[in-house]
Amino acid sequence: MSRRSLARASALFRLPVRGRVADSADVLIRRETPADAATVREVTSRAFARPDRPVPVETVLLDELRGDPAWLPALSLVAVDAGGVVVGHVVATRAHVGPAPALGLGPLSVHPDHQRRGVGSALMHAALGAADALDEPLVVLLGDPAYYGRFGFVPAAEHGIEPPVADWRPYFQVRTLSAYDPGVRGAFAYAEPFARV
């Protein structure tokens, strides 16, 4: 890891939580371990629970991604509270813009008891920092522009990146990273489970 990458990654230790700078007693962002998998699944299910869906589609997607070659363990991150309990999770998986490698982010999940406390923001900052430190060129997601814009996401069309489904265009966003090549343009392809679920 270069000094520049290390400096960017070290900045992640002071993450915004509840409108202030967090210390390690608030939330720790770390890589997911195999022992976390069941808890991450539960957090995801609780985060996306709806009365009409006993198992949220995001939980099914997470299950499918775990068994896919696009799963990148270094980019599956958990938020752990002061008691050591997993309260949030984010994952970025291998995707492509044409033949060029890229990342697809999601799902991002925060346990309902910990939402609106900065945990999701901390996970996003950590995921973007980790992806950048790994020399990934860009991260793409489908989500609310008002929320994800604060992390530097812009409409993917601004960079010539097209969504797999044209109707997604208003919510289809990209965040370029240090290794970004402006010549990378074209159709975006998520990991295969995104098409199945």
CB atoms within 10 A of CB 196: 10
pLDDT at position 25, please?
40
Q: What is the per-residue pLDDT across 122-171, written as a single tens digit (0 to 9) for each?
A: 999 999 999 999 999 999 999 999 999 999 999 999 999 999 999 999 99
User: Which amino acid, residue 147?
Assistant: Y
> Residue 144 maps to which CATH number?
3.40.630.30
Confidence (pLDDT) at 134: 98
Q: How far apart are the first and last CA of the chain?
A: 36
Number of domains observed in the structure of the chain: 1
Contact 88, 36 (CB under 8 A): no
> Where on the phi/psi map is residue 192: left (φ > 0), alpha (ψ -120 to 50), or beta?
alpha
Q: Are 33 and 23 in contact (CB under 8 A)?
A: no
Please list the residues that pair with 179 across neighbouring strands. none
Q: Strand runs (DSSP E) across the chain, as ranges?
A: 16-17, 20-21, 28-31, 76-80, 86-97, 100-110, 138-142, 154-155, 161-162, 172-176, 186-189
Run means of pLDDT, 10 residues per run, the chain, 197 residues: 42 41 66 96 95 91 96 98 95 98 97 92 97 98 96 98 96 98 97 92
pLDDT of residue 7: 41
94 lies in which domain range?
Answer: 3-196
Tokens of 134: 């790994």
Residue written as token pair 């984010």: 90
pTM: 0.86
